[in-house]
Every structure is written in C-alpha cells, then in structure tokens.
Amino acid sequence: MADDDTIFDKILRGEIPCDRVYEDEWVLCFRDINPQAPVHAVVIPKKKARDVGELCALAPDFVGGYMAGIVKAAQRLGLEGGYRVVFNTGKDAQQSVAYVHAHILGGRVLGWPPG
C-alpha cells in the first residue's frame, strides 16, 4: 500500500472540496476538474491502493463493492445510453495520482480506439 498522501486522500478526509456525485461505504465519486467528455467523474475506493494491481490484492468483497459503486455512480450520472470506465495504471498510461481511481466518461458517443 502507498504511504504517501495524495490529493485523493485529502478529498476523502474532507480537506479538499469536491463536487460529489455518489458515495457509499466503498467509494466516493466526484466530478473531474478537467473533464474529457460532457460527463466525466472519478471514482475512488475508500481503501487505498496505488494501482489496479494493488486493488486486486484487496479482499474480494471490497473489490466487488468498489466495482458496484462505479456502476451506481454511473447510474446517478444518468448515463443510460452508455459510458466508459477507464483505469490508468502506471506512468506509460498517464496515471497521475498514485491512488487507484476509475474515470467514468459519457454524455456523447465515445470514439474507438481511445488512445
């Protein structure tokens, strides 16, 4: 687990404000401050993991709760027509915060390939 304090740690503690979309026992979802689509939110787990690999090492019930929280957040965002969930893992994927997080993107037809 990462011991360094990140912006997401500070958001979870309420030290940095965010535009909350959804929250439950597993996740906190808030709107991205630099949206890449008409709807763009970030979903962080309430248990810290540096990346997807560390997330997968957590208890299966926690990982399942996190994934279910992503779906509930997308529903709260009103993305009935579809949405994309993106995890950036590592430097080459442009992961900018060492705290695993999912991006929910939607609100328009999304192109493919994404990269």
Q: Which residues are catalytic?
A: 101
The H helix count followed by the E strand count for the chain is 3, 5
DSSP string covering 69-107: HHHHHHHHTT-TT-EEEEE--SGGGT--SSS--EEEEES
